[in-house]
Amino acid sequence: MTLPYQTLPADIDHMIENDFAVVERQFEHLEAGRGDRRLLVDQIGFELALHAFAVEQVLYPAFEETGQTRDLEQARERNNRAKELLSALLKAEPGSPEFESALTQLMAGVREQHAGSDAESLPTLREKLGAQRLAQLGKEFLAAKRKAPTAPHPHAPDKGLAERVAGALAKPLDEMKSRAMGIKPGLGTDASGLLHPQAQAILDAHSSLEPLPFEICTAEQARQQPGPRQAVQKVMAELGLEGPEPVGSVEDLQIPDGAGGTQTLRVYKPEGVTANAPVIFWIHGGGWVLFTIDDHYDDSCRGLVNKTGAIVVTADYRRAPEAVFPASHDDVLAAYRWTVANAASFGGDPARIGIGGESVGGNMSAATVLQLAQAGESQPVAQVLVYPVTTAEQFGESMSDAADARPLNRPLLSWMAMHAFEDRPEAATDPRINLLGWTDAQLSLMPPTLVITDERDVLRSQGQEFARKLHAAGVDTRESYFPGAMHEFFGAAAVFELAEQAQQDAAQQFLAAFGSTGAAGADAYPSGQSSTFVIAPSSPAGNA
């Protein structure tokens, strides 16, 4: 599911390939007989509706410009047939001859279109128009998706989003999108049937809040949508649980950022801390675009405080597109240095500092350690990387088998990179982003490291590959893998037992380095329940 040539996240051929990857994986669920058949088809219809409208508005004119008459005719013919089949699927029920026949034909047609686009039309378009023009077409393609016909939506930033367009395209696609939007509990969830029931409940709760897909929003619009924390809070309310998890104290400090300004450093303390407590420097995720320390990462920090007895600090670094790479990395490095220099002022021990983070926070954790080591500065004693970004490339099998996953799917990953690296294409090869490109000498600078990955996550393969490379370079490395879990699950311990287990694994990693049992104690979870794998030189990875 990867184009045979280099693309950037904002390129139109890159975005088209992402769309096909999502739909192809949903087809595979249907063929395997797993998941919710009706919901999968409705989700496919929604994806294809967005895609088809954007293709007509942006790709067709580009084909006309380059004289790709045959490609244009074939694309129109396939799209018209797809619209007919989508309309038939709307009117039929799963299992009926009409439904199954239309679905079989739709899958065959979409796959034929994909093969044609990969092998012929898109490479030709790139050759004739050049990389810069395809990047511009990518922006237009994304903008067209935002304008695609859809039903009125309570969270739409602009009520004008619900546009009707004239012609044969509008009616069947608008019907499909309206139907999908109307199934409020399902459009934004994971319909694969592969998730743990508690993980499924979280994503179903998120979908019921009716967020617009982040990957078709502007950054500002995406930040206004309900996120993972709201989903967990909804499940907690349904279960009669209160939150957030209490800690001794929470204080916000203003410290220097990496550009001569200031940033907020939030300090979480356990009960009874006075002096010389170990410190965990935790870095939040969000693709360098979404989320802040006020979002669901607050729950991660609170869990780590109570499981380790350590002080946890986290920086509210600058985000893209307002501040593109390397702004976030610079702020995190500045915040870590400030923490080492000032740990005693808030009761911390500068000789016992661990580091870690989630998603791009995991990336910035390792990048910070590398920069500190290369500068000859003091190192953290341990590191925890939770589903980390370790390359800007579309790496490994998880880019296909989790392409449709929620809350992070393949189009959203590209959307984040598009904003974070805007006008900075060289960022993809920078060692602060491309951790998989590190030499053994660079890898060997890492402290003892735990890498946490999960099944339904496009970042799974690259996180596991980084763990393998760390081990091969002689770093004390452990990996915890959680089947049935999804990206952003780590902070959901209040309602997801695997998140509780992941936090316990992270706590044990830090406690071992701090030389203490902490609040969690050595027997924090029952024997045999840990998901942790030890990557040892003498044997393949296995259950610890």
pLDDT in tens, 374-410: 999 999 999 999 999 999 999 999 999 999 999 999 9
Q: Lowest-confidence range among 125-129, 161-165, 394-398, 531-535?
A: 161-165
Domain definitions of the chain by residue range: 12-158+166-183, 249-543
**284 annotated active-site:** no
Quick one: pLDDT at residue 116?
Answer: 73
**487 annotated active-site:** yes
pLDDT in tens, 325-361: 999 999 999 999 999 999 999 999 999 999 999 999 9
What CA–CA distance (Å, rounded) separates 339 from 316? 14
Q: How much of the chain exceeds pLDDT 70, in percent? A: 87
Q: Lowest-confidence range among 490-494, 518-522, 535-539?
A: 535-539
Catalytic residue among 121, 359, 365, 480: 359
Q: Is residue 153 over pLDDT 50?
A: no
Q: Mean pLDDT across the chain, nearest whole number?
A: 88
Residue 2 burial by CB count (10 A; 0-12/13-18/19+): exposed, middle or buried?
Answer: middle
Helices (H), 216-326: 219-223, 228-239, 297-308
Peptide bond into 526 cis (omega under 30): no
Higher pLDDT residue, 279 or 118? 279
Catalytic residue among 190, 404, 487, 531: 487
Strand partners, 213: none
**What mean pLDDT is predicted for residues 55-75?**
93
Fold of 249-543: Rossmann fold (3.40.50)
Q: Is residue 68 over pLDDT 50?
A: yes
Quick one: pLDDT at residue 532?
Answer: 55
C-alpha dist (Å) from residue 52 to 73, 89, 201: 14, 17, 31
Q: Is residue 81 over pLDDT 60?
A: yes
Alpha carbon distance, N-terminus to C-terminus of the chain: 34
Q: Is residue 426 over pLDDT 60?
A: yes
Q: How confident is the model at residue 114 (pLDDT cuts 50, 70, 90)?
A: confident
pLDDT in tens, 24-53: 999 999 999 999 999 999 999 989 988 989
Q: How confident is the model at residue 176 (pLDDT cuts 50, 70, 90)?
A: very low
Q: How confident is the model at residue 518 (pLDDT cuts 50, 70, 90)?
A: low
Determine contact, residues 499/296, Cβ cutoff 8 Å: no
pLDDT in tens, 408-423: 999 999 999 999 999 9
Cα 51 from chain centre: 21
**The pTM is what?**
0.90
Quick one: pLDDT at residue 162?
Answer: 32
Helices (H), 375-496: 398-401, 410-420, 440-443, 460-472
Q: Lowest-confidence range among 40-49, 267-276, 383-392, 521-530?
A: 521-530
Quick one: pLDDT at residue 526?
Answer: 36
Determine contact, residues 280/355, Cβ cutoff 8 Å: yes
Q: Is residue 249 over pLDDT 90?
A: yes
Higher pLDDT residue, 362 or 5? 362
Quick one: pLDDT at residue 118?
Answer: 66
| 511-543 residues labelled b (16+ CB within 10 A) or e (exposed) | bbbbebbbbbeeebbeeeebbbbebeeeeebee
Q: Is residue 167 over pLDDT 90?
A: no
Quick one: pLDDT at residue 519?
Answer: 55
Q: Is residue 1 over pLDDT 80?
A: no
Q: Is residue 310 over pLDDT 90?
A: yes
Q: How much of the chain exceeds pLDDT 90, in percent? A: 78
Catalytic residue among 457, 471, 480, 531: 457
pLDDT in tens, 465-498: 999 999 999 999 999 999 999 999 999 999 999 9
Quick one: pLDDT at residue 156?
Answer: 39
**398 annotated active-site:** no
